[in-house]
Structure 1
Amino acid sequence: MALGWFSVARITLFSLAIAFSLIGLGLNAYFISLTVPDDFYFTFSVLGLATAMLTLLTIPVMLIIDFIRRGAFTSMVVFELSWLFTLAILWVATAGEAVTTFNFYYPRGCIYADGTNAETYCLEVQAVEAFAFLNFFIFLGYTGVLLVFSIIGSTRGNGVWTYSVKEATFLGQKSQPIQQQVPLSQYSGAPPTGYAPVGQPQQLGTYSTHSGTPPQSHQTQPQQFQPVYSGQPQGIPV
């Protein structure tokens, strides 16, 4: 049967990813606003902004379509696996670029005085790293579990790849059609071929069990010639 708890976990994880993407969108847009006037930008900020926008444009749409329409391609398991894995790669790339930038500009960490711009920028870069990694773990963990369940369902004969998560049968066995059986008490004894039973031919010369009289023989006795005497001698005249 379909996993109800997995559908609830899916909605929860997607909601967290949307919230983290909103935070990442704001942080990366802030870094771009600081560097664009100087004709300069950080790679992690541009990549993070694009990834956050893709996440915010696609994940809510996938959830809404899944609620209002059945059979949409955006709700299919194969589409979710492909697209969410792509988002996971983009988020881990954003996190990797943020780590590289942090190690280059802040090799000793955030050791600046509180309230200074350097301290603020250092903490914001770390925040970009954290939320990018969180979204990466969310999408990677979800796609990993979904892939395992899909493989299990496929090996059991269930076509899960083109179904949505809430409709797919992952752990149940494929149902077999039930064959209708005729009870033995209803068997009429008639031959299964549909032909009427043929009676046995009666032999001639046998007694009938119903009338008690022997049957008449159809054979006729040969007639014998009887001479007729008229009272006058019959002979040959001389």
Structure 2
Amino acid sequence: MNTFAVMKYRVLLILPFFYASGTMAGEWSLGAAAGVGVSPYRDTDNNVTALPLIGYEGEDFYLHGLAGGYHLWKDENNQLNILGYYSPMHFKPGDSDDEQMKRLDKRYSTVLAGFEYTHYAFGGEIRALFAGDILNNSNGLTGDLAYRYPIHLNDWEITPMAGVRWDSKNQNKYYYGVSSSESRRSGLASYTPDDSFTPYIELAVRYHINQNWDTVVSGRFESLASTVQDSPMVERSNTGSVSFGVNYSF
């Protein structure tokens, strides 16, 4: 049971790990998650975000928190989904303490849609995703290739994951570029980033309290691409986050 991990610019909530891989068809889950993460933007404070989680796994349709989709093909070793998900990544000039950053335009959150393929082999999962902005905010594209390996130890499940995310030039331009008009207004240098590849690692630890309840603690680290680091809006070479969630399945 897999979804693309969605990212908020200040908080990374690693949503796939909040849904158990052994969920049976027709099973619902309710829960809550909270996370704290490091913002890549200049002089922008880290923040704590909490949100409810609703999950459903059906024979054809599924809902995983901020993502939902339809199983086009599913067997013991392969799964192909069409999916849509909300990406709350955004930038509010008022959230920065930097006077130049305060003069930039807002960057809005969006909804992306695309395809996700998962192959189950050797006890692990290889996942590939390709999606695009459907609200015409960035008009960007994103892709993700990752491998995760769940380790089961009685009531514990430890899942390391490593992957790389590709973001198109339009995607990076919207969230990290500085237009000529913004440059004149703010004093920051105008900047147009290229497309990028962002490697990341994640680790999640799930504890099954009983048949219905479980908790998850997860962490993520990303190494920002040089074209993102070079943006006048960015002050870091990496970002990270930790998240905690509680789930009830029925």
Which TM bucket (shorter chain)? under 0.3
Higher RCO (CA-CA < 8 Å; seq separation 6+) = 1
Larger Rg: 1
Greater share of helix: 1
TM-score of the aligned structures, taking structure 1 as reference length = 0.19
TM-score of the aligned structures, taking structure 2 as reference length = 0.19
Greater share of strand: 2
